[in-house]
A and B are shown apart, each in its own frame.
Chain A
Amino acid sequence: MVDIGNTDIDALPVAEVEEADLYHAKSWITKYVFSQDAKVIAIQYSGTAIAIGLVGLVLSWMMRIQLGFPEVFSFISPEAYYQFITMHGMIMVIYLLTALFLGGFGNYLIPLMVGARDMVFPYINMLSYWIYLLAVLILVSTFFIPGGPTGAGWTLYPPQAILEGTPGSDLGIILMLVSLALFIVGFTMGGLNYVVTVLQGRTRGMTMMRLPLTIWGIFTATVLALFAFPALFVGAIMMLLDQVLGTSFFMPAIVSFGEHLEYGGGSPILFQHLFWFFGHPEVYIVALPAFGIVSDLISAHSRRNIFGYRMMVWAIVAIGAISFVVWAHHMYVSGMHPAFGFFFATTTLIIAIPTALKVYNWVLTIWRGNIHFTIPMLFSLGFIVTFLNGGITGLFLGNVVVDVPLSDTMFVVAHFHMVMGVAPLMVVFGAIYHWFPLMSGRMLHVGLGKVHFWITFLGAYSIFLPLHYIGLLGVPRRYFELNVGGTPADFIPASVGQLNAFVTVITLLVGVAQIIFFINLFWSLRYGKKSEKNPWNATSLEWQTPDMPPGHGNWGPELPPVYRWAYAYSVPGFATDFIPQNVAPSTMPGLENIEDG
């Protein structure tokens, strides 16, 4: 089945040495703080993203205890509640997941996996992180300003976002928009790096169709982000002008609390178009890297090639392309022209086909594999289940008439948490357990990892599964409480309150269980079992560096040449069940030698 190339290839000159291009840090500060090494930047990005993500997690506890036990915690006012949900959403979607997948995993894995020494523009890469950090700090600062952070919901819809009646409609929203604009500027700098490094930084023999799917996912997501974020940027700047200068881009004539405002003629729908032109690709900006990474985890830990590699690549590209023409499925009940409903429902359901195919291929990779139940594999399985569930409910919401009764209910909340909250986080955890040995030279503790997995997976699933059903009942989202003045809505039975209390308890439990993960992380960093080189016997290049953890410049004097695709697992006729990408075919008979390496 395998066509072994001719032996001439060994006579080829070695890959060019690019040592000269590399920036060498001269001091501790330039090495670890203002570092231009993608691996350090990756850790800075990840650390910041996870730190702000923890803030987002605590915010979710706050809103859950309000929903689970209304009128018990009087310190949560309606204002505070709406500020919590807004900041929770914004932090998780943009400042945690986008930054972690692209800035964190992207920076760490792209140069290593394509066989480069570093990103192509290390200085701009460094700037990218520091601008991101500034954006995060501005975001956090809104908690401490008069009026507090904005409470307009993470969609920041005008006119309410900038009018009285919504918390943080002055400084809160202004700083939010500034922070977003900065994030976009910083991301664009990083994004240029990721794209150009994948295009131009690949080592010899690393064709596009030999790239691991991780890189395909991150690459495509970056391209999406580069073209989607400008829409948010334009929307943010225009809203900023509406708020600060009193222009009327999005503002029609308004009577707010009996007072005629100066605005006139604008349309809130215009903002929604701009927002969702960004917002829907954003879903895939988070999902595609997760798709890519989980493909590699499943393949490596099932000791089987990813099933249908070509189809997986095509699916990623197709999903990326179609994701730009589905945005208005978030606007079925927004008042836009009803004719759009036909078009966007159709495109939305079409996108389900490549997505479903990816699910099939993950399952088919596991089928007839040789599955090692490592922690990354467990999280990958957790991903498949939560993504399958969340993807299926996406078929409900994409179909325009089903969306009409379900939109703005808890069904939507449950759907997107399952599909772009829990599922990508499963991948984040799996990826951290998988690549921690590469980053630190030590293994994470398996027992703690298992406890972490079971609580997180089963807990998260039982949080969001029932919420779909109260959404079906009609319980609306973004409600501070369902009982007004002690009288519950007629159609909401008392059992909904009990369910909310149950979900809150599980939420707190799952949240607290993350402490296990952090204990594991910090403990293992110092006391973890020393990892052998390539502990998972993986084929991709990042495990084939001369040093582990890889040093500055990643590779020795020569860049690794690549001879095959990244999924040569369990190839018949070889002593080992994996053949790394950089092992020359002429040395194949001696493959037994690397078995223990």
Chain B
Amino acid sequence: MIITLIFMLAVMITIGRWLYLNDLTTKSWAVEGIENMPRAEIKLPKSKLGLFVFITVITGLFSLLISAYYMRMGFGDWAALPDPPILWLNTAIIILSSAAFQWAQISARQLNMRRARIGLSLAGLFAVLFLAGQLLAWRQMTELGYFAASNPANAFFYLITALHGLHLIGGLFAWARTGGKLLRGNDTSKIRASLDMCTVYWHFLLLVWVALFSLLLAT
């Protein structure tokens, strides 16, 4: 649980620091009026703050998973997996997906909606390719006889990739909504907000994948 506890410590320090900035020691009964006590603003749009909270929660989920992984590893019957080469290809694809999103976001910021559309389509395409690649990796593993039930290392491999993939599938819904807005030509500020959110989430999932992949490689 050490990894989870380190993560929780980081979360608590962040919350604690923010509370501290909010004058947690103010004698609030002694001061009246509005401007006397400006609230410490979080200078983020609500939706983005929501996304960051969500990302923190998901990070907690994966840190628990990694904690469980290390604890289970210590029980002696662990037989490390070969790392299927296709995972390297998939990693490249998910990096491309993230990059395409970044490109779409920059294009939208420059009001170049045509390039934004291309970027978004590419990002979606690469994301689907990544998922297909992961499925292929599963098939290769089962063909080599690495079934989920035969060793905890295998079971964790399937569990980790499945949970990551599910989060990406969830992201594809947001991607589709953003695409819809872009096609309908909604007002650009809304499109940009949506693209911003998706891009952040995509980069986050990329980071999670890199962390999980390194874990698989290292063990």
Contact = CB atoms under 8 A, between A and B. Distances in A.
Contact of B50 (A2, A121, A234): A121
Interface residues of A, number: 69
A226 interface: yes
B71 A273 contact: yes
B177 to A, nearest CB: 11
Given A209-B28, A266-B152, A5 B33 contact: yes
Contacts, number: 173
Given A561-B34, A585-B32, A199 B49 contact: yes
Contacts of B50: 120-121, 192-193, 196
A210 to B, nearest CB: 5
Given A5-B31, A230-B61, A324-B8, A237 B46 contact: no
Interface string A474-491: 000000000000000000
Contacts of A207: 22-23, 26, 28, 37-39
Interface stretch (A27-35, A245-253, A396-404): A245-253
B53 interface: yes
A209 B26 CA distance: 7
B155 A208 contact: no
A223 interface: yes
Given A231-B64, A274-B64, A317-B19, A265 B152 contact: yes
A266 B75 contact: yes
Nearest to B7: A227
B41 to A, nearest CB: 9
Interface string A1-34: 1111110110010000000000000000000000
B216 interface: no
B159 interface: yes
Contact of B68 (A274, A309, A568): A274
B72 interface: yes
Contact of B64 (A188, A202, A230, A310): A230
Interface in A189-222: 191-193, 195-196, 199-202, 204-210
A383 interface: no
B148 A234 contact: no
Contacts of B5: 324-325
A226 B57 contact: yes
A286 interface: no
A120 B50 CA distance: 9
A9 B35 contact: yes
Contacts of B60: 226-227, 230
Nearest to A21: B46
Interface in A555-583: 561-565, 567-568
Contacts of A2: 29-30, 32
Given A237-B159, A266-B75, A202 B29 contact: no
Interface string B58-98: 00110011001001100111100000000000000000000
Given A208-B39, A238-B159, A270-B68, A564 B26 contact: no
A3 B31 contact: yes
A226 B53 contact: yes
B86 to A, nearest CB: 22
Contacts of B75: 265-267
A387 interface: no
A249 B72 contact: yes
A547 interface: no
B218 interface: no
A270 B71 contact: yes
B149 interface: yes
A17 B78 CA distance: 60
A95 interface: no
B12 interface: yes
Interface string A264-278: 111100100110010
A595 interface: no
Nearest to A328: B1
B25 interface: yes
Given A9-B33, A264-B77, A563-B34, A208 B53 contact: no
A314 interface: yes
Nearest to A124: B50
A247 B28 contact: no
Given A207-B23, A241-B155, A563-B34, A196 B29 contact: no
Given A247-B149, A310-B27, A270 B72 contact: yes
B211 interface: no
Nearest to A585: B32
A249 B155 CA distance: 8
A321 interface: yes
B155 A247 contact: yes
B33 A204 contact: no
A233 interface: yes
B45 to A, nearest CB: 9
Given A208-B23, A266-B75, A277-B4, 18 more contacts: A1-B30, A6-B33, A9-B34, A191-B57, A207-B23, A207-B38, A209-B24, A226-B60, A234-B61, A247-B149, A249-B68, A249-B72, A265-B75, A277-B1, A563-B33, A563-B34, A564-B28, A564-B31
19 contacts: A2-B32, A192-B57, A195-B53, A199-B42, A207-B22, A208-B19, A208-B24, A208-B39, A208-B40, A226-B53, A227-B11, A230-B61, A231-B64, A233-B61, A234-B61, A238-B68, A274-B64, A309-B29, A585-B32
Interface of B: 1, 4-5, 8, 11-12, 15-16, 19, 22-40, 42, 44, 46-47, 49-50, 53-54, 57, 60-61, 64-65, 68, 71-72, 75-78, 148-149, 152, 155, 159, 163
